[in-house]
């Protein structure tokens, strides 16, 4: 009886798979904006220019050496 309760057939799995696929599709459509937002947020929180700074005139070298 307990095994029957845990049974998940295709009729239960397909709607879940469709929803997951839809979420992944939306994420892929908006990936560039999402990644840019995350990078801007990280930079503003940590204020780290570092070696990969893209500021104007940056040579990629630390000025405190």
Which position has the higher pLDDT, 53 or 7?
7
Give 14-65 pLDDT, tens digit per residue. 999 999 999 999 999 999 999 999 999 999 998 755 555 555 555 555 656 5
pLDDT of residue 7: 79
pLDDT for 11 equals 87
pLDDT of residue 29: 95
For residues 62 and 65, give the distance between their C-alpha atoms in angstroms, rounded to a whole number: 6
DSSP three-state, residue 35: helix
> Which pLDDT score, from 0 to 100, does residue 12 have?
86
**Cβ of 22: how many Cβ atoms within 10 Å?**
10
**Distance, CA of 55 to CA of 8 (rounded, Å):** 54
Tokens 């070298």, located at residue: 61
């Amino acid at each position: 009886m307990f095994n029957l309760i845990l049974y998940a057939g295709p009729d239960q799995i397909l709607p879940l798979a469709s929803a997951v696929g839809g979420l992944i599709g939306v994420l892929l459509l908006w990936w560039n904006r999402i990644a840019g937002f995350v990078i801007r947020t990280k930079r503003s929180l940590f204020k780290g220019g570092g070696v990969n700074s893209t500021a104007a005139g940056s040579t990629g070298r630390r000025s405190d050496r």
